[in-house]
């Protein structure tokens, strides 16, 4: 009985570690983010996408929403390095394999450069 409890705790700890999603090369960013977005500073997002349609602060996060004709994108900024950086992005409609649809992001990028 004494051996079972420590073994149970070790197994529970290993299971918790195994359930964590893998990280990308950018600190704090999960794998599954669209290429070239994670880790961008606010100024870089504005340079690519223009001014956001809506900005919201939620605790330590800042969320920027971009509205297109056929989709919306949500950029989630968190403190990092020298300022806030993108840690996650989602679109509506969602992508097929990740939370962001790259076609939507490309369309929003094109809109920012045209205007």
Q: Residues 7, 15: contact at Cβ < 8 Å?
A: no
pLDDT, residue 95, reads 85
pLDDT value for 31? 64
Tokens of 22: 């893998």
Bridge partners of residue 80, in order along the sequence: 83
C-beta of residue 55 within 8 angstroms of C-beta of residue 62: yes
1 has pLDDT over 80: no
Report pLDDT digits (tens) over 41-96. Answer: 999 999 999 999 999 999 999 999 999 999 999 999 999 877 899 999 999 999 88
Alpha helices in the chain (DSSP H): 4-18, 42-49, 102-114
Displacement of CA 17 from its chain's centroid (Å): 21
- Which of these, 40, 105, 114, 110, lies nearest to 73 by C-alpha position? 105
Per-residue pLDDT at 100 exceeds 60: yes
pLDDT per position as a tens digit, 7-39: 444 444 444 433 334 444 455 555 678 888 999
The two tokens of residue 95 are 């992508």
């Amino acid at each position: 009985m004494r051996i079972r409890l420590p073994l149970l705790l070790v197994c529970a700890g290993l299971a918790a570690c195994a359930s964590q999603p893998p990280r990308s090369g950018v600190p704090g960013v999960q794998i599954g983010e669209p290429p070239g977005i994670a880790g961008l500073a606010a100024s870089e997002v504005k340079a690519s996408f223009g001014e956001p349609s809506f900005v919201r602060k939620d605790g330590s996060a800042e969320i920027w929403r971009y509205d297109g004709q056929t989709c919306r994108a949500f950029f989630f900024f968190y403190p990092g390095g020298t300022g806030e950086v993108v840690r996650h992005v989602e679109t509506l409609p969602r992508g097929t394999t990740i939370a962001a649809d790259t076609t939507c992001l490309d369309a929003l990028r094109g809109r920012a450069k045209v205007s």
